[in-house]
Amino acid sequence: MIALGALAAAPVAAQTKQDFVACDGRVHPGKQDDGMRGPAGTSGTFGLSLFGGDVVGACTRALGSPRLLPTQALRRAHLLRARAAAHLRAGEIAKANEDLDAAEAATSGLATDPFFRRSMGVSFMLLRAIAKAHSGDLAAAVPLARTAMNERPYALQVQEVGAAVLQAARPTGAGSASPWTALSRLAPSFAATALIEEAQAGNFAGVLALRSGAEPEWPTERVAPLALATRDEGATKLLAATMTSLHVAYARATTGDPAGAKRDLAEVRSRVAALRPEAATGALPLLTADLATGLDKYVDARARQIEARVAVAEGRPSDAIAALIAAPMPKDAATVDLLKALKLAMPAKEANLVPDVGAFAAASDLERRKALTAAVSAALIAPETPRAVVDYERSRPNVLGALIGGALSMGTSLLGGIDRLDGFRSTANPDGTIRVEFIGNSPSMTLIQEMTLLRAAEVAHAAGKPAFVVIGRKDYSRRMTMTQYGREISSVPTGYKSELTIRPMDADAAGDRGLNAMAIIDALGPLYYEKKPTPTPS
């Protein structure tokens, strides 16, 4: 009986440990002061749960486990935040708010700590903003999002989630400035995102205003047969260029430029025909054919939408009806605009031929709200502590020697010509741009990105330029993945790399996309330069 009891206890103990991983991705807390053992992997709230998908149940069991010590307030808050995120995804707003209240109460003693405030504190604000927006309280959601964005203006992850909340708060067709445009200063790819978001919001004049900063980058040669399945660089370029160009074409049609819409549509058709993958003769030919056919169907559906809008603009409503016969109608803001314009253009006795706009408008709004749910994962910012910036200090071992006569803050913390340090690399390109890279083992990609941006600001300042423009960026993660029977069961980050290509410039020449090097050094320098006091043994 004793032996049987021991055998029964072992699975229970293992399950208790697994609950922690299944909830917030970290191993069970052990006896550490904060209980934050190990990096957060992609299980539980951070991905697919390893243990049946019941994230809420796993979090509830972990929070009630004796393994979670009363002193481990940060881990308790981390588990509560994970459960709140699961509730948000399920649309259970009241339960999410209850968990966020409990998480903030558990860590009230850390509220003034700068590392906690800029990580978990900002995360709480973003999650509450998402909850408010989901429940329709936009008046409360917007200030929360803006406060979080102001707390970390150079953190791509924070700015992206904040922009998603601000975008959801905008009424369809709103002509105000896109909340996504500021992100393009940190990551040029967000120029295309801003354009697409404006199209989805029905701000077609805004689409055209963003056109010059989001030139489509078409592949230079036909993409490989399996490119659409693997989403390689060529396929990604093809899909992005196709989508943005079709949005611009529709925007021209609805803002009085039908000739421009026809021109853009003809170019898209020509480009896609020349660049789409040919039929595969080797592996996965059926999948390849299906994906290529899917691209063709997408272009055809959007083309009919554009042709119908052109016909309306040119006073040919019957031709618009003909273009839409048997055509799939995308449930987006463009279809809502098209149906409204078509109903007005049709003779009164034939207006009933136009489908009712209500269902399409509701579906369009639903798609916009889904973006809020997608932003939940990005709002789960990894907790930061003073030891989280050790990568930066170790990567700049000669910083004090390089600062001859210099202060350690207020924008004067430069490296005195040191170009290569552990973790950092700065490479001058023939075109006058500079590639700045940083590789680190920090538990937070956001930290690595900020460190790289700070180094870029130092490089620009050392070059005698007060500003710089980010021309391109690439972010990578190194992960340890575990599989079982060929299926991934966990993936844990073991390091990150961020790579920026910058052009140091004078402030006037940099324009709206320019970043002030001194402002970045002043904002981030005190965090990464200041030496942390060494604890005195008691």
The verdict on 186 and 74 lying in the same domain is: no
pLDDT along the chain (538 residues), means of 10: 47 69 88 76 42 78 93 94 95 95 94 89 96 92 96 94 89 73 88 88 89 88 78 86 96 95 96 82 55 84 94 92 84 88 82 73 72 89 73 46 34 37 77 89 81 91 93 82 62 77 90 90 80 42
Cβ of 300: how many Cβ atoms within 10 Å?
13
CB-based contact 140:132 (threshold 8 Å): yes
Task: For residue 309, give the nearest of 283, 341, 280 by alpha carbon.
Answer: 341
Give the model's pLDDT for residue 282.
54
DSSP string, 481-502: EEEETTEEEEEEEEEEEEEEEE
Residue 89 structural domain: 1-111
The verdict on 209 and 327 lying in the same domain is: yes
Contacts of 212 (CB under 8 A, 6+ apart): none
Helix, strand, or coil (residue 381): coil
Dihedral of alpha carbons 160, 462, 441, 447, sign: negative
The verdict on 310 and 410 lying in the same domain is: no
CB-based contact 84:96 (threshold 8 Å): yes
Give this prediction's pTM.
0.80
Q: What are phi and psi of 393, to 5 degrees?
A: -65, -40
Give the model's pLDDT for residue 59.
95
Cβ of 213: how many Cβ atoms within 10 Å?
16
> Is 267 inside any structural domain?
yes
Cα separation, 95 vs 133, whole angstroms:
15
The verdict on 334 and 395 lying in the same domain is: no
Total domains in the fold of the chain: 3
Task: For residue 413, give the nearest of 261, 322, 524 by alpha carbon.
Answer: 524
Give the model's pLDDT for residue 408.
35
The verdict on 64 and 205 lying in the same domain is: no
Question: What amino acid occupies position 4?
Answer: L
The verdict on 444 and 338 lying in the same domain is: no
Q: Which of 376, 394, 429 is the last residue of a domain?
A: 376
Q: Is 279 exposed, middle or buried (0-12, 13-18, 19+ CB in 10 A)?
A: exposed
The verdict on 412 and 355 lying in the same domain is: no
Q: Which of 376, 401, 417 is the last residue of a domain?
A: 376
Token pair, residue 393, equals: 């200090």
State the alpha helices, DSSP H only, in 119-255: 122-134, 138-151, 156-168, 190-200, 204-210, 227-230, 233-254
> Is 72 inside any structural domain?
yes
The verdict on 353 and 415 lying in the same domain is: no
Q: What are phi and psi of 484, to 5 degrees?
A: -140, 120
Task: For residue 136, give the nearest of 162, 165, 103 by alpha carbon.
Answer: 165
Give the model's pLDDT for residue 288.
56
Q: Which of 313, 341, 376 is the last residue of a domain?
A: 376
The verdict on 347 and 405 lying in the same domain is: no
Q: In what order do the strands lie in the sheet with 467-484?
A: 420-421, 424-428, 434-440, 487-505, 467-484, 515-516
Question: Which residues on adjacent β-strands are paired with residue 503?
Answer: 469
The verdict on 311 and 404 lying in the same domain is: no
> Is 141 inside any structural domain?
no
CB-based contact 384:451 (threshold 8 Å): no
Cα separation, 463 vs 466, whole angstroms:
9
CB-based contact 197:184 (threshold 8 Å): no
Q: What are phi and psi of 179, to 5 degrees?
A: -70, -5
Give the model's pLDDT for residue 401.
36
> Is 150 inside any structural domain?
no
Task: For residue 449, give the nearest of 200, 227, 198, 187 by alpha carbon.
Answer: 187
> Is 123 inside any structural domain?
no
Give the model's pLDDT for residue 299.
93
> Is 290 inside any structural domain?
yes
Cα separation, 225 vs 205, whole angstroms:
37
Give the model's pLDDT for residue 77.
96
The verdict on 349 and 408 lying in the same domain is: no
> Is 149 inside any structural domain?
no
Cβ of 15: how many Cβ atoms within 10 Å?
14
The verdict on 337 and 236 lying in the same domain is: yes
> Is 23 inside any structural domain?
yes
